[in-house]
Amino acid sequence: MEDLLAQRGITVSYEAIRQWCRTFGPAQARGLRRRHGRLGDTWYLDEVSVTIQGLQQYLWRAVDQDDDLIDILVQPRRNCRAATRCFGKLLNEQSRAPHRMITDKLRSYAAAHRIVMPSVAHSSRQYENNRAEVSHQPTRQRERQLRRFKSAAPAQRFLSVHGLVLNLFRVGRHLLRAVHHRLLRARSFPVWDEVTCVH
């Protein structure tokens, strides 16, 4: 970003860009979430460990049947309380429970399921949760590019925004002809302009 702006004669530091992301990113994420509305009715949940400042943290992620990110939560534990908090956040964001929930065999999911959403069908069969497992790849790529996350709160802020922007521009490139990919990508730009207030 710094180089692209420099090409246009605008000099900024990487710190200014970081502050812009911190200031405007959450508002843009809220706009994208509002515009996208409710996501799918089948939730795939998974957690992955990351090291932040030498401490192990867990990224709890939920995606729907279309691979759209529903939400992500950074937490220091992988227990029932953490799973319950994740479920509560998902219900708060989506304002309704899913028809079906698919997780791995972590016992915390089953315990939280009994507490928060006992009426929702829950499955933890082997390989059924691969959709959520694969959804961690963009986060891992960003983590490598950023040379690890520096602390939990900025990681939470960045990943929440990054996931929603990725939902907007991810159109399944490998499944489409080039002309269709360009058409869908072109449709994403007006939505981005509206959310970022570009006229």
For helices 178-195 and 152-169, the axis angle rounded to 10 degrees is 130
Q: Which residue has the tokens 């490139």?
A: 173
Q: Please, what are the domains in the chain?
A: 1-37+151-199 (no CATH), 38-135 (3.30.420.10)
Tens of pLDDT along 25-63? Answer: 777 777 777 777 667 789 999 998 888 888 888 989 888
Tens of pLDDT along 127-139? Answer: 887 777 777 676 6
Tens of pLDDT along 103-157? Answer: 999 999 999 999 999 999 999 888 887 777 777 676 666 666 666 676 777 777 7
| Residue of 47, 41, 46, 45 whose CA lies nearest to 94 | 41
Most confident segment among 14-18, 104-108, 141-145, 174-178? 104-108
pTM (predicted TM-score): 0.68
